Structures are given as structure tokens and as C-alpha cells.
């Protein structure tokens, strides 16, 4: 029996086991439509929170910015991410339904995200039903705003396809469609865009249901105890000066609890 070889093999197995035990917890961050923010800047925003989570979970937590939705959707489907802050509600709902992720918290200030339907001051359209058979400007086709828009139109005119959608990359480009008579109405969920539109005399024809966005979800790879610890940490962040300082770079006010069953019901409304 070759004792040195056995010892070497045992050490390799032990090293591999230790490496697995110390594998990084991947915390994916998607803040919505990217405005070419460098990945390192996003990592820096969440560095203090990641450091706290590393201590809490006793494993290194690695912040992984994921800007595009196809990559985010695939990563969630493949359970690549242990934790994820997901801007588009439909993608986190899909992950909860299909990949056994759990909702931990939602982001304060984004619990009542609504799509507003903009028309010009002299528009002949009197109600949302009048959009049937018309063109409607909207953000990216796979944005949560456009999912909300189509669900709203389905409820009002019988089928979302009874409206023709003209999509644009960014929410703040939607008013251009209406201002230049490319579409008789446009939909956006940006409060700043809506305010700017109204300040110029434009009207809001109606709004969609509210949907919370920017969820933090946990992979089934995390234990119930780990998921609970992360949830409690996030909920308490805005209750201390130290926590508020850690939130400042992210620009979020804090995190709040939200009923998972209610979220799933909204997913059904969205058509997921």
C-alpha cells in the first residue's frame, strides 16, 4: 500500500471539500434598465451590505451585477444565484413559481409601482377603453411596465392584442411618441416622466394596478435559517444610523415585508 499517495489523495479530497464549503454566495443585482453603469460601481453600492451578509452567513457573499433580462432569467432558472435583487417583478415571480425561489422582502418606495397612460391635452380619447384598436407607446417589451400595460389592456378591451404596441428602450422616450403624433397614447411607470408630462399640460388617461418591484429573493440552495437571517437583516437595515449609511449608496430607503401569496396572485394577473 502506498501510504504517501493515500495521504496526498486524502489531502486533495479535504481541500476540495473545504473549497466547496467556502464557495461564495452569489448575490445577483438587477436594478432595471441599465444606463451603462459600470459593474464595479454597482458592486461598490452593495459592498457594505455584502460584507454584513458574509459575516451573517459565514461565507463570502459576492455581488454579481446582471443588467440584461435574458441573462437574469436564465441564471434564475438555473439557480446560479443564491440571492437576487430583481427589479422586474415578472422575473422574480417566474423564479418563485418555477425554480423554488422564496420572496424575502420588497424595496420600500416601490411597493405601488403603476403604469400611467399618457395622452395630449387635446386628445379625443376619454377613457382607457378608447385605446382599443389604437397604437400605444411603451417601454421595452420585456419590461415589467409593459407586462403591466398588456395585462391592463387585456382586462379593459378583452385581449391585449386589440392594442398595437410600439416599444422603445427607455421609459423617458415614451412621451416622444405622443408629442410627435406617432401614437395617440403612451404608457410609463416613471413618476418623473409622468410629472414632467403633467407639468407641460399633458393628461393621464388612467393607471394600471399596482405591482411591487425590486424584490430580494432567495434560492432553495439557502437553508430556511439562512433565508430567514437575511430577511431579518434587510428588514432592520433602515432602523439604525449604521444601517441607513449602508443603504445610502444603493439609493433605497429600506426593505419591507410582502405577502408571497399576494405576489403570486399579481403574477396570475400579469399572465405568468
Domains plus CATH for the chain?
A: 21-111+212-270 (3.40.190.10), 116-207 (3.40.190.10)
Q: Check residue 235 and give its pLDDT.
A: 98
Dihedral over Cα of 193, 156, 144, 268: its sign: positive
Length of the chain: 272
Q: Is 156 left (phi over 0), alpha (psi -120 to 50) or beta?
A: alpha
CB distance 196 to 74 below 8 Å: no
Residue 8 has pLDDT above 90, yes or no: no
**Hey, what's the cell of 222?**
439557502
Q: Is the pTM of this model over 0.85?
A: yes
pLDDT, tens only, 158-211: 999 999 999 998 888 999 999 999 999 999 999 999 999 999 999 999 999 999
More confident position, 236 or 11 = 236
Percent of the chain with pLDDT over 70: 90
pLDDT, tens only, 98-144: 999 999 999 999 999 999 999 999 999 999 999 999 999 999 999 99
Q: Name the average pLDDT for the chain.
A: 92
CB distance 87 to 144 below 8 Å: yes
Rounded Cα distance, 158 and 258, in Å: 30
Amino acid at each position: 500500500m502506498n501510504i504517501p499517495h493515500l495521504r496526498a489523495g486524502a489531502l486533495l479530497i479535504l481541500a476540495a471539500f473545504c473549497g466547496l464549503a467556502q464557495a461564495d454566495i452569489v448575490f445577483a443585482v438587477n436594478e432595471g434598465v441599465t444606463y451603462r453603469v459600470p459593474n464595479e460601481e454597482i458592486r461598490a453600492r452593495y459592498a457594505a451590505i455584502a460584507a454584513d451578509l458574509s459575516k451573517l452567513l459565514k461565507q463570502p457573499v459576492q455581488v454579481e451585477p446582471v443588467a440584461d433580462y435574458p441573462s437574469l432569467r436564465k441564471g434564475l432558472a438555473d439557480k446560479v444565484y443564491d440571492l437576487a435583487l430583481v427589479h422586474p417583478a415578472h422575473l422574480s415571480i417566474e423564479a418563485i413559481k418555477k425554480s423554488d425561489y422564496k420572496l424575502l422582502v420588497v424595496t420600500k418606495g416601490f411597493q405601488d409601482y403603476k403604469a400611467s397612460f399618457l395622452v395630449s391635452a387635446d386628445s379625443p380619447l376619454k377613457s382607457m377603453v378608447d385605446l382599443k384598436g389604437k397604437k400605444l407607446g411603451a417601454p421595452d417589451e420585456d419590461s415589467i411596465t409593459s407586462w403591466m400595460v398588456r395585462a391592463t389592456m387585456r382586462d379593459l378591451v378583452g385581449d391585449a392584442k386589440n392594442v398595437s404596441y410600439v416599444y422603445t428602450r427607455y421609459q423617458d422616450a415614451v412621451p416622444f411618441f405622443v408629442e410627435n403624433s406617432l401614437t395617440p397614447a403612451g404608457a410609463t411607470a416613471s413618476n418623473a416622466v409622468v410629472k414632467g408630462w403633467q407639468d407641460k399640460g399633458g393628461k393621464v388617461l388612467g393607471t394600471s394596478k399596482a405591482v411591487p418591484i425590486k424584490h430580494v429573493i432567495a434560492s432553495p440552495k439557502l437553508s430556511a435559517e439562512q433565508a430567514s437571517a437575511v430577511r431579518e437583516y434587510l428588514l432592520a437595515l433602515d432602523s439604525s444610523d449604521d444601517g441607513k449609511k449602508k443603504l445610502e449608496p444603493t439609493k433605497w430607503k429600506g426593505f419591507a415585508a410582502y405577502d408571497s401569496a399576494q405576489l403570486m396572485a399579481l403574477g396570475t394577473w400579469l399572465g405568468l
